[in-house]
């Protein structure tokens, strides 16, 4: 029998908001910024070239796989350097990117569901990304944030899950991790000893060779309903 849940760790991208629209916008915004402030950089590194550069940097620097911000900063610096641009523009260019990165459009159910969950359980945001909950406006609903960049390792590494549990003051067995990614969220959480809720908004098929999630929902709202019922059953 599973232990009663006393705390929540929660993924962000593609759990609270879809990331693909953000990814497309940040590419356009960064390119437009280069067009205004460093035209030779925009000419030498159009969007497809910047994508290829990012992939190259990821391959050359696997030690930075957990650090999306540093990879982005290095990509900007490389593009400026190679195009003869002013490296002093790297900071402002990253700022333009990061402002757009934190302009999110929540899933319709996400805010209400998050508020309901936060009213019952302490929540730690657990992310391999670089979203800023303060800028987004939901930091008050979380006890804290654990990012792969700050921790030094990302999901599915068990240590990042264990660190989040320590911050929550809960054992892994008492903690439910909620997220969309099969490997990073569900397999990672279960390997670390947490309970795992899979948010499957896209009607994906669970791989037959993997241990099934502890529970599956098509929306975060359905997860909040389930947590409400669990809490009611124990009061």
**Per-residue pLDDT tens for 36-64?**
999 999 999 999 999 999 999 999 999 99
Return d(Cα 110, Cα 107) in angstroms, integer. 5
Return d(Cα 32, Cα 126) in angstroms, integer. 31
Q: Write out pLDDT tens, residues 170-222.
A: 999 999 999 999 999 999 999 999 999 999 999 999 999 999 999 999 999 99
Backbone angles phi, psi at 208, to 5 degrees: -65, -25
pLDDT at 235: 45
Q: Write out pLDDT tens, residues 118-149.
A: 999 999 999 999 999 999 999 999 999 999 99
Homologous superfamily of domain range 7-17+106-233: HAD superfamily/HAD-like (3.40.50.1000)
Taking the mean position of all CA atoms in its chain, how far away is CA 60? 23
pLDDT at 233: 53
pLDDT band at residue 3 under the 50/70/90 scheme: confident
Checking if the pLDDT of 223 tops 90, the result is yes
Q: Tokens 């800023």 correspond to what residue?
A: 132
Return d(Cα 168, Cα 9) in angstroms, integer. 9
pLDDT at 230: 82
Domain residue spans of the chain: 7-17+106-233, 20-101
Q: Write out pLDDT tens, residues 10-19.
A: 999 999 999 9
Which of 228, 204, 34, 26 is CA-nearest to residue 112?
228
If you average pLDDT over every residue of the chain, what do you get? 96
CATH topology agreement for domains 7-17+106-233 and 20-101: no
Checking if the pLDDT of 234 tops 60, the result is no
> What are the tokens at 146?
């654990």
> What are the tokens at 29?
């915004």
Residues labelled as active-site residues: 11
DSSP string, the chain: -PPPP-EEEE--BTTTB-SHHHHHHHHHHHHHHHHHH-HHHHHHS-HHHHHHHHHHHHHH-GGGTT-HHHHHHHHHHHHHHHTT--GGGHHHHHHHHHHHHT-----TTHHHHHHHHHHHS-EEEEESS---HHHHT-GGG-SEEEEHHHHT--TT-HHHHHHHHHHHT--GGGEEEEES-IIIIIIHHHHTT-EEEEE-TT-PPPPTTSPPPSEEESSHHHHHHHHHHHHHHT-
Classified by CATH at the fold level, domain 20-101 comes out as 1.20.120
């Amino acid at each position: 029998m599973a232990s009663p849940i006393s705390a929540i760790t929660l993924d962000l991208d593609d759990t609270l908001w879809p990331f693909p629209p953000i990814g497309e916008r940040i590419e356009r915004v960064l390119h437009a910024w280069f067009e205004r402030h460093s035209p030779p950089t925009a000419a030498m590194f159009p969007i497809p070239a910047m994508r290829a550069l990012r992939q190259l940097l990821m391959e050359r620097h696997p030690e930075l796989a957990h650090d999306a911000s540093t990879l982005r900063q290095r990509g900007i610096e490389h593009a400026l350097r190679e195009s003869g641009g002013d490296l002093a523009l790297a900071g402002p260019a990253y700022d333009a990117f990061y402002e757009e990165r934190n302009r999110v459009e929540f899933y319709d159910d996400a805010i209400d569901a998050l508020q309901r969950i936060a009213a019952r359980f302490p929540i730690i945001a657990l992310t391999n990304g670089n979203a800023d909950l303060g800028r987004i406006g939901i930091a008050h609903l979380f006890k804290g944030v654990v990012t792969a960049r700050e921790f030094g390792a990302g999901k599915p590494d068990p240590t990042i899950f264990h660190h989040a549990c320590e911050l929550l003051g809960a054992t892994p067995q008492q903690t439910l991790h909620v997220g969309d990614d099969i490997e990073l969220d569900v397999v990672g959480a279960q390997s670390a000893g947490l309970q795992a809720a899979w948010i499957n908004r896209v009607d994906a098929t669970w791989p037959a060779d993997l241990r099934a999630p502890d529970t599956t929902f098509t929306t975060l709202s359905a997860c909040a309903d389930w947590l409400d019922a669990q809490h009611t059953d124990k009061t």
